[in-house]
Structure 1
Amino acid sequence: MPGNGALKARLRADYPYILEYRTRWSDNDMYDHMNNSIYNFLYDSVINTYLMEHCGLYPPTSPQYGMVVHSHNDYFSSISFPACAELGLRVNQIGKSSVTYEIALFEKGVEGVKSVGEFVQVFVDRKTARPNANGMATTLREGLERIQHKDYQSKI
């Protein structure tokens, strides 16, 4: 993942898929901003919404499902109820069975990014909970490729 300065400069236009989320009173913590755990909840939600809407994945019954094997988040400024969040999603890297997502959280009507996170999923067979020898399903891969950032350079 790029350095903190590059992440802090992210724009909505850097993300081909945007999902709105209306914050809830219960999202706030005692410091009057969205609790850290909610960010992961939202990141997981935007990823699964995209997978269901554009990749033919239905997590409860699909032959393959994604397991999160890595996640992290960089926080830049807070957001709190009653703000509306806009979650930007893109794919930075696709492997045989894995995908690296980048997710940004913006506040509707506010220019700067609030946080940028990364999730890595490995798609496994439902029966074995192991990656398929042939990799991820074609429909899944094609859907992920539609939001892949072509110029991303991995630091790994």
Structure 2
Amino acid sequence: MSERLHPLPRSAYPWHQEMVLQWADCDIYGHLNNVAYLKYFDTALNMALIDHGALDLSPDATDPIGLVVKNGAEFFSEVNFPNRLWIGARVEKVGRTSLTWGFGLFSGDAELCSARGTYVHVYVDRQTRRPIELTDKLLACAKALAAPDHN
């Protein structure tokens, strides 16, 4: 059995994206629905890649794309509407063809995250969908977003 994660501070994430909690993402209990966290993490991941020049969305792009092969989240405190969110992103592990991403979702000005998420991206050729080695752009992004010394 794996060890339960604990909330991390904002400083554990080298990159942050502000978002606004969407009304439609809240459930009948008035808080952010569990599956919506993954949507916010996914948006932050792709924005971080774009910000670091590692994701080209143009129609003629040839760079590899990341396919999610694993994801998940652990929750620490409720997030309620209305609220501003900050999503922290970092790269926790670099493989030959993959990156393991870590996320923290921060509610308002909170110093500790309300939830942590993990995604594993395997990078594949856009045409063949076969795994390929990480490109220099992806490696540079991973280096820039490397997780600091926090658990």
Deviation at 1:7, TM superposition (A): 2.4
Confirm or deny that 1:53 pairs with 2:54.
Answer: no
CA distance in 2, matches of 1:131, 1:24: 35
Q: Which runs of 4+ in 1 moved over 4 A?
A: 150-153
* TM-score using structure 2 length: 0.90
Distance across 2 between alignment mates of 1:56 and 1:91: 13
Q: 1 CA distance for matches of 2:121 and 2:150?
A: 18
Q: How does 1:15-94 map to 2 (within 5 A)?
A: 15-59=13-57, 61-94=61-94
**Consecutive unaligned residues in structure 2, runs of 5 or more:** none
RMSD of aligned Cα (Å): 1.8
- Equivalent in the alignment of 2:144: 146
| 1:80-115 alpha-carbon deviations (Å, 9 max, x no partner) | 211101111111100111000110001122233200
Q: Structure 2 CA distance, aligned partners of 1:144 and 1:113?
A: 22
- Counterpart of 1:7, as a letter, is H
Q: Tell me, which stretches of 5 or more residues in structure 1 are unaligned?
A: none
Residue 93 of structure 2 contacts residue 101 of structure 2 at CA under 8 Å; is this kept in 1?
Answer: yes
> How far, CA to CA, are the matches of 2:54 and 2:92 in structure 1?
20
Q: How many residues align?
A: 148
Which residue is equivalent to 1:7? 6
Instruction: Give the 3 Å change call, closer, same or farther, for CA 28–92 of structure 1 in structure 2.
Output: same
- Report the alpha carbon displacement of residue 24 of structure 1 after superposing the two structures with TM: 1.6
